Amino acid sequence: MEQATSPNIGRLRASARLSGYGLCLVLLAAAGCGPVRGAGNSDDTLTIGAYSVVRDAFREKILPGFAAYWKQKTGRLVRFEESYNASGAQSRAIVSGFDADVAVLSLDGDIDRLVKAGIVDKNWKSGPGRGLITRSIVVIGIRPGNPASIDDWDDLTRPGVGVLYPDPKTSGGAKWNINAIYGAGLLEDPKQPDPAAARDLLSRVQTNVVNMDSSGRQSMATFERGTGDAIITYENELLLQDKRKGIKAPYVIPSATLQIEGPAAIVESSVKKHGNRAVAVAFLEYLRTEEAQRILADYGFRALDPKLDPPGRRPLPSRLFTMKDLGGWTKINKDVYGPSGVWDSLFTPSKGRTP
């Protein structure tokens, strides 16, 4: 599990292992060491269970920004207990007892798992933004100079091309990646969706997959160490490399690709237990403010309002599709990831490489 602290406004006050999930406790305030949860009424505590991709934006700018906003609005300090992990693993941890107040995950299905467990409101998408806080697109990261001459999905199927993406059993990001490939094949003719073409393209790409890590962040680290010729990933992951290293991380936007939508929701059982609904609601609202959306866009995401994206962001492809175009998550989870779905059928002795 990845852990994080927030170095800007606040200082690390304490660290602890809570519920077996290795949280870091961070007090984001200008002065003083705050009490533990329930020890006093001078601060608020918010536990965040998030997927690994948002870690840098959250720890460096989003959490300090919200702390300043909350202090100005209420006069109170806010302490964050943070946990970052692969989205699917994080979702299962929350179901298993990790008391996150807010779940920030990679896909609707991981939030829906919490709904089925009775700990997130079934109407979580009915509010502003339909429950979303980020957007991105699926792209193909390549080596400098593009020595493998990769421009589109079919190029990943050539013999000798090594491809990386994470494991969909643990990573929400992997499902977005796989859905992008599947959707490009399915919607080659948008008027006549072709499941056979979708399966064929996904099978041919999967044959060249050389590594499947448990999270998108780990997959990127493996690619940076020199494994593979191409990585299928979120655009924001590659733009974050630009921000970190000051060197352009080369990537191509396929001619047809999937829009990624990142959700967040309040974990009702936790906020009821902790008595902190007000700060949890305020945090979700803050994530959709112009300030927070500009921060997220600066870390490579595409803002919910495109006008907030920084200048120079690459144009979207003409064949950009969404999960709705693929029939929605329920259909894809059945057709692709279900017991008789396309994904499991690829891992036979004659198809692809096992993860």
Give yes or no for a contact between 52 and 216, defined as CB atoms under 8 angstroms apart: yes
pLDDT by residue, tens only, the chain of 355 residues: 444 433 333 322 223 333 334 455 554 443 333 334 444 567 999 999 999 889 999 999 999 999 999 999 999 999 999 999 988 899 999 999 999 999 999 889 899 999 999 999 999 999 878 999 999 999 999 999 999 999 999 999 999 999 999 998 878 788 999 999 999 999 999 889 999 999 999 999 999 999 999 888 889 899 999 999 999 999 998 998 877 777 788 999 999 999 999 999 999 999 999 999 999 999 999 999 999 999 999 999 999 999 999 998 999 998 999 999 999 999 999 999 998 899 988 874 334 444 4
- The Cα angle at residue 48 between residues 61 and 324, in degrees rounded to 5: 90
As a whole number of angstroms, the distance between CA 293 and CA 270 comes to 26
pLDDT at 8: 33
3 Rama class: left (phi>0) / alpha (psi -120 to 50) / beta: beta
Q: Which residues pair with 233 in a beta bridge?
A: 139
| CA within 13 Å, CB half, 284 | 25
pLDDT at 170: 79
Q: Which tens digit of pLDDT belongs to each residue from 243-300?
A: 777 778 899 999 999 999 999 999 999 999 999 999 999 999 999 999 999 999 999 9
Element (H, E) at 252: strand 251-252
Backbone angles phi, psi at 165, to 5 degrees: -160, 160
- In this structure, what token pair is assigned to residue 118? 């009775």
Count Cβ atoms within 10 A of the Cβ of residue 333 and give its class: 0-12 exposed, 13-18 middle, 19 or more buried.
Answer: middle
- Among residues 14, 116, 148, the alpha carbon closest in space to that of 333 is found at 116
Residue 146, C-beta contacts closer than 8 angstroms, at least 6 positions apart: 250, 252
pLDDT at 340: 87
Query: CA torsion sign, 287 to 138 to 352 to 145?
Result: negative
- In this structure, what token pair is assigned to residue 138? 């699926």
pLDDT at 25: 52
- In this structure, what token pair is assigned to residue 7? 């170095």
Amino acid, single-letter form, for residue 215? S
| CA within 13 Å, CB half, 254 | 29
Greatest alpha-carbon pair distance for the chain in Å reads 63
pLDDT at 352: 41
Domain positions in the chain are 11-120+267-288, 136-260+315-346
| CA within 13 Å, CB half, 112 | 8
Count Cβ atoms within 10 A of the Cβ of residue 72 and give its class: 0-12 exposed, 13-18 middle, 19 or more buried.
Answer: exposed
CATH architecture of 136-260+315-346: 3-Layer(aba) Sandwich (3.40)
DSSP state of 154: G
As a whole number of angstroms, the distance between CA 111 and CA 92 comes to 10
Cα(first)–Cα(last) distance of the chain, in Å?
20
Q: Is the pTM of this model over 0.75?
A: yes
Backbone angles phi, psi at 232, to 5 degrees: -90, 120
pLDDT at 64: 98
Matching fold, domains 11-120+267-288 and 136-260+315-346 = yes
Yes or no: domain 11-120+267-288 corresponds to CATH 3.10.580.10: no
- In this structure, what token pair is assigned to residue 45? 């505590």
